[in-house]
Amino acid sequence: MPNHRRDRIRTVPRQETQELRNPNPLSRAHEPRQVDQLRPLGRVPARLRPRRSIFERALSAHRSDHTLFLRYAAFEMRNEFLSHARNVWDRAVSVFPRVDQLWYKYAHMEEMIGNFPGARRVFDRWMRWEPDQEAWLSYVRFELRYKEIERARTIFEGLVRCRNRACAWIAYAKFEMRNGEILKARECYERAEEKLVGQEEEAVELLVAFAGFEEICKETERVRGIYKFVLDQIPRDRTEYLYGKFLAFERLYGCQESIEDVIMAKRKFEYEDEVRKNPFNYDVWFDYVRLEESLGREEKVREVYERAIANVPPAAEKRFWERYIYLWIWYALYEEVDVNDVDRARAVYKECLALIPHDKFSFSKIWLMAADFEIRRLNLKGARVILGNALLGNIDCVRRIYEKYLEWSPENASAWMKCAGMEIDLEEIDRARAIFEVALSQPALDKPEDLWKAYIDFESVTDRERARELFERLLELTKKVKVWISYGEFEACADEGDNVHDRIDHARKVYRRGIDYFKIHAPKLKEERVMLLEHWLTTEDSFGELGDTDSVHAMKPKKIKRRQHGEVEKGVAVYKEYIDYLFPAELEASNIKLFQAAYRWKKQKIAS
């Protein structure tokens, strides 16, 4: 029987065989090895053939079990058939490319036998599958063991490209820092900050590590800026930890004022967490407002007040509103006393009074404070209006106050409109109509046109026939172009149940009456006539297919420039230019006169 030991060609020294059995790849990694000193794929001893056959049959039967490849490769390595082992590893990583253990073992074998380019090729093949971060770091450690810094840096670039996570960038930055490259480490953090925009959790983790890096570099201002930025972006559940780190940093490098700022910011985040959990906890809002007022930032104080008053009690019961209404009072007093912004304070009182459901309950305190505010501003009229509105619950008293007011100032059209408006709010239509009629009968009014407009607007909603009669009454008093325009727009406005053709006819009749009035009775008011035509044309456009814009265009005048004598300055007559309008009839008459003059001139020339 042949000697199997003699048949095998031994090309690997015994020392390297022992290293293959040693699980530590760094035991003798510093010693060079010859890659070509491998056992060739020659004859296989007879005693090993059945075992190899069994492994092959097992792999055919159990295709999903990667541990068979591990045992098969270990078998070949124990028997020093490294080329066979390499073939087994190649088959294993091709079938199971996502099993990291196979890649680790394969690269470990190549490194143990000194085949560094082969180990590098294994890692490169592995990285194409984009494994987890630990695999990339294993590749980096492999390169660092042999002082290949640039190769390690290239691997980190591939890692952050493949895994854009904070932990990957942090590992990259720490690698640069360990190699003394402070600027490159800072550049890593800055690049990562740009890449992680939109990923809140990842960005927070990165910025915390960035702050630790800058603290090591003694860049205290940078650290402070990073902490402030990250605390503005941080989730609420991580504030305690980060504020603790920030406070510890300030105690080491900051002053008393900076420490107080951190404590204030921490309290602010606590208040934010409380109001997020229960926005109707008004006591927390009061404390939050006090904190912002102590810091003296007007915009922040207003923001907190606006957020607080936006949480209106869900139930319309007075007991739920008692604490809430004091937020409005504090807000108004802050604007008046601390900021000295009178307009904002008045707006706060107005919004508060409009928000309270007065039909169910009210607060006399807020009414009196609003009236006192107007008295302090010497606005007695405004105070009377507020107190008058406060008495709306007692209509008789309010009416008597209005009666006294109107007896004292009957020419005040605004008072008449407010009195009528109160009756309209109470749905006392007949009373409101009677008040308007009495107001129009006054011999002198300061703003009669406003009163007429309010009356017509009121009747336009309640009774369109009455509104039409009011327009006719108003035209008997004045024929201003605004009245004609308002009348035409009123007729053109659609109402439920109106016939479209009737509405269009009514509007056209009004516009024609206005044009005829200015044409016959006020021919010098050409600009008013043009204005009325423009509005008529706009109305016809609004009718769509039923509109007749051509007829209105035919009535439009021609715009010409004229000159007239002005004052004489230094013996020279000065002429002034002005715009004149020639309507179609006037233009035709002027053309006839021109032809007649030309005919007379021609006749005289022939006779001579």
Identify which of 456, 478, 476, 475 has the alpha carbon closest to the alpha carbon of residue 467: 456
Residue by residue, DSSP assigns 87-150 as HHHHHHHHH-TT-HHHHHHHHHHHHHTT-HHHHHHHHHHHHTT---HHHHHHHHHHHHHTT-HH
DSSP designation for 361: -
- CA–CA gap between residue 493 and residue 488 (Å, rounded): 9
- CA–CA gap between residue 87 and residue 217 (Å, rounded): 50
Token digits for 370?
A: 């609003």
CA distances from 142 to 33, 77, 181, 196, 606 (A): 16, 21, 20, 28, 121
Question: Does pLDDT of 31 surpass 50?
Answer: no
Q: What's residue 326's pLDDT?
A: 92
The correct CATH number of 395-554 out of 1.25.40.10, 3.40.50.300, 2.40.50.140, 2.60.40.10 is 1.25.40.10
- CA–CA gap between residue 106 and residue 126 (Å, rounded): 10
Q: What's residue 470's pLDDT?
A: 92
Q: What is the pLDDT of residues 64-91, one digit of tens each?
A: 778 888 888 888 788 777 888 888 888 8
Identify which of 30, 51, 53, 38 has the alpha carbon closest to the alpha carbon of residue 8: 38
Q: Give bridge partners of residue 564 from the DSSP assignment.
A: 576
User: 170 or 230: which carries more pLDDT confidence?
Assistant: 170
Q: How far apart are the first and last CA of the chain?
A: 159
Res. 9 pLDDT band, cuts 50 70 90 = very low
Which of 43-52, 136-145, 150-159 shows the lowest per-residue confidence on average (mean pLDDT)? 43-52
Q: Which residues contact 155 (CB under 8 A, 6 or more apart)?
A: 127, 136, 139, 140, 143
User: 35 or 474: which carries more pLDDT confidence?
Assistant: 474
Res. 450 pLDDT band, cuts 50 70 90 = very high
What's the angle, vertex CA 298, arms to CA 296 and CA 302, rounded to 5?
125
Number of CB atoms found within 10 A of residue 238's CB: 15
Q: Which residue has the tokens 């407002």?
A: 289
CB 196 within 8 A of CB 206: yes
Q: What is the pLDDT of residues 105-135, one digit of tens each?
A: 888 888 888 888 888 899 988 988 889 889 9
Q: What's residue 182's pLDDT?
A: 84
Q: Which residues contact 69 (CB under 8 A, 6 or more apart)?
A: 59, 88, 89, 91, 92, 95, 96, 102
Mean of all residue pLDDT scores within the chain: 78
CB 139 within 8 A of CB 127: yes
Mean of pLDDT values over 276-303: 85
Q: What's residue 567's pLDDT?
A: 66
Res. 395 pLDDT band, cuts 50 70 90 = confident
Q: Where are the domains of the chain?
A: 395-554, 557-607
Res. 544 pLDDT band, cuts 50 70 90 = confident
- CA–CA gap between residue 199 and residue 167 (Å, rounded): 13
- CA–CA gap between residue 488 and residue 486 (Å, rounded): 5
User: 2 or 275: which carries more pLDDT confidence?
Assistant: 275
Q: What's residue 417's pLDDT?
A: 92
> How buried is 84 (Cβ within 10 angstroms: 0-12 exposed, 13-18 middle, 19+ buried)?
buried
Res. 593 pLDDT band, cuts 50 70 90 = low
Q: What is the pLDDT of residues 320-349, one digit of tens each?
A: 898 899 999 999 999 999 889 999 999 999
3-state SS of 590-608? Answer: HHHHHHHHHHHHHHHHHHC
Token digits for 359?
A: 């039909």
Q: Which residues contact 395 (CB under 8 A, 6 or more apart)?
A: 426
Q: What's residue 29's pLDDT?
A: 36
Mean of pLDDT values over 139-159: 89
Q: What is the pLDDT of residues 190-211, one digit of tens each?
A: 888 777 776 767 777 777 777 7
Mean of pLDDT values over 36-53: 57
- CA–CA gap between residue 125 and residue 98 (Å, rounded): 12
Q: Which residues contact 345 (CB under 8 A, 6 or more apart)?
A: 332, 333, 335, 336, 373
Q: Considering the chain, what percentage of its residues have pLDDT values greater than 90?
A: 14
Q: Give bridge partners of residue 565 from the DSSP assignment.
A: 575
- HSE at residue 74, side-chain half, CA atoms within 13 A, is 11
Q: Which residue has the tokens 């078998």?
A: 75
Identify which of 131, 129, 100, 112 has the alpha carbon closest to the alpha carbon of residue 35: 112
- CA–CA gap between residue 200 and residue 533 (Å, rounded): 63
- HSE at residue 315, side-chain half, CA atoms within 13 A, is 5
